[in-house]
């Protein structure tokens, strides 16, 4: 059962709206009492409490020495060891705001429209290293979910297909107070046509696949030049914080998560399901529906798993250090604190295409006081095996069919 099937069978009133509504008002998912309307980035990774901010404390806490006593983190010698590591190395991270500023690229459609995009990942290992991109060997298997393009004489990508409409206003209306997910209605803030995918296979350059999410489409440089912020979200991606078409840079909001117990920051740019895209502030990318899911690390798999709690701890919102899940996100408006599988430096199976595995705590586990924030893939799988976690509403645990494009940016520990 895919995510759309589950949403409709579980609630019956879920309504995905993909009509075009132009608006620039930015309202967060503040409470169950109101519908979130408008566009723009949701909360960043530096929330107002330990449930929404995982920035590591100083190693000097509890020690009788000054922080200056400690030497460089082990990751500075070997990135697989404990410590901070920047994974997407194309730009600068603002640790005060939880954003990254990276190069903005200009290409065009075969039919002439301008395409503004970013680069985050590729299956070309040498070029990934040279450009500071994430390397993902799994992207070589993503052909069905990728559009195609070629370099022109200027070195610009000419995309053969895949248009995006950035004019809709993102809208998410949560469900009831005791079960806010799935939402009653959800509309993505940007919608691709049936051929749109953030992935592009460049045919005249070795056939390599690049993750190139669209940031704006069919607009001039002057229309989207907002170097000091407050961009027009009728024209640009909802996760854009600022965009400078003179310097050719774009500043994007980051998202909190975990990988094998370590806090990470990542981007969320596209999803193959309109409900997921609306919740994530991402572009609905229908072509990603062609990517096979449920096969994790097997031969020809283009995906890696992401584990998303449905009914994790939510009491007291960001003040709760155990906070996690979609109920929490749709109640207090902050991110759900998802758990990623393998990322570069920790595993070889990284892909920016995350196959959503939703899990729900059983009532028995809740009654016994076992419900808590989970941070590691195999801990989650063990709790599934023990019967404390299931799929949504007691369904079998596994892929729900949603693919989310979430390039990893920074490992905090």
Q: What is the mean pLDDT of each run of 10 residues along the chain (413 residues)?
A: 41 32 33 51 92 92 88 94 97 97 98 98 97 98 96 96 97 96 96 98 96 98 98 97 98 98 98 97 98 95 98 97 98 97 97 98 98 98 98 97 98 98
pLDDT for position 71: 87
User: Quick one: the chain helix, strand, coil %, rounded to 5?
Assistant: 15, 30, 55
pLDDT of residue 24: 30
ω into 142 cis (within 30 of 0): no
Indicate the pTM of the whole model: 0.91
Q: Are strands 353-361 and 399-405 parallel, antiparallel or unpaired?
A: antiparallel
- The Cα-based distances of 198 to 8, 62, 70, 313 in angstroms read 27, 46, 42, 33
Q: How far is CA 138 from CA 134, 204, 301, 383, 401, in A?
A: 12, 20, 6, 28, 18
Residue for token digits 């190395």? 89
Per-residue pLDDT at 37:
58
One-character DSSP codes across 248-306:
TEEEEE-EEEEETTEEEEE---EESSHHHHHHHT-EE-GGGGGS--S-TTSTT---EEE
Contact 34, 183 (CB under 8 A): no
pLDDT at 39: 77
């Amino acid at each position: 059962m895919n995510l759309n099937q589950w949403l409709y069978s579980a609630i019956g009133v879920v309504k995905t709206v993909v009509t075009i509504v132009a608006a620039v008002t930015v309202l967060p998912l503040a409470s169950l009492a109101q519908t979130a309307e408008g566009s723009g980035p949701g909360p960043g990774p530096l929330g107002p409490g330990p449930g929404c901010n995982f920035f590591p404390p100083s190693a000097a806490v509890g020690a009788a020495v000054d922080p200056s006593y400690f030497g460089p983190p082990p990751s500075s010698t070997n990135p697989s060891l404990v410590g901070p590591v920047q994974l997407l190395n194309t730009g600068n991270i603002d640790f005060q705001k939880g954003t990254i500023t990276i190069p903005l690229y200009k290409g065009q459609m075969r039919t002439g429209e301008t395409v503004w995009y970013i680069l985050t990942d590729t299956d070309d290992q040498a070029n990934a290293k040279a450009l500071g991109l994430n390397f993902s060997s799994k992207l070589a298997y993503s052909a069905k979910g990728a559009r195609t393009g070629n370099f022109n004489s200027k070195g610009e990508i000419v995309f053969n297909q895949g248009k995006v409409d950035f004019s809709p206003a993102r809208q998410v209306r949560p469900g009831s107070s005791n079960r806010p997910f799935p939402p009653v209605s959800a509309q993505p803030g940007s919608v691709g046509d049936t051929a749109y995918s953030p992935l592009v296979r460049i045919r005249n350059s070795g056939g390599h696949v690049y993750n190139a999410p669209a940031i704006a489409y069919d607009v001039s440089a002057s229309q989207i030049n907002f170097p000091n912020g407050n961009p027009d979200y009728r024209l640009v991606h909802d996760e854009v914080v600022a965009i400078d078409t003179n310097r050719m840079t774009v500043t994007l909001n980051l998202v909190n998560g975990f990988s094998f117990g370590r806090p990470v920051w990542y981007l969320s740019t596209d999803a193959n399901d309109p409900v997921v895209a609306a919740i994530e502030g991402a572009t609905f990318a229908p072509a990603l529906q062609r990517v096979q899911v449920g096969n994790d690390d097997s031969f020809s798999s283009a995906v890696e798993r992401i584990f998303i709690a449905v009914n994790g701890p939510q009491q007291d919102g960001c003040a709760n250090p155990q906070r996690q899940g979609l109920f929490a996100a749709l109640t207090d408006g902050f991110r759900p604190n998802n758990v990623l599988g393998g990322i570069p430096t920790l595993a070889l199976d990284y892909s920016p295409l995350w196959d959503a595995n939703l899990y729900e705590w059983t009532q028995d586990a809740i009654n016994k006081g076992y419900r808590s924030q989970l941070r590691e893939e195999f801990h989650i799988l063990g709790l599934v095996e023990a019967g404390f976690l299931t799929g949504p509403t007691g369904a079998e645990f596994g892929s729900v069919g949603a693919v989310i494009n979430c390039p990893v940016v920074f490992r905090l520990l």
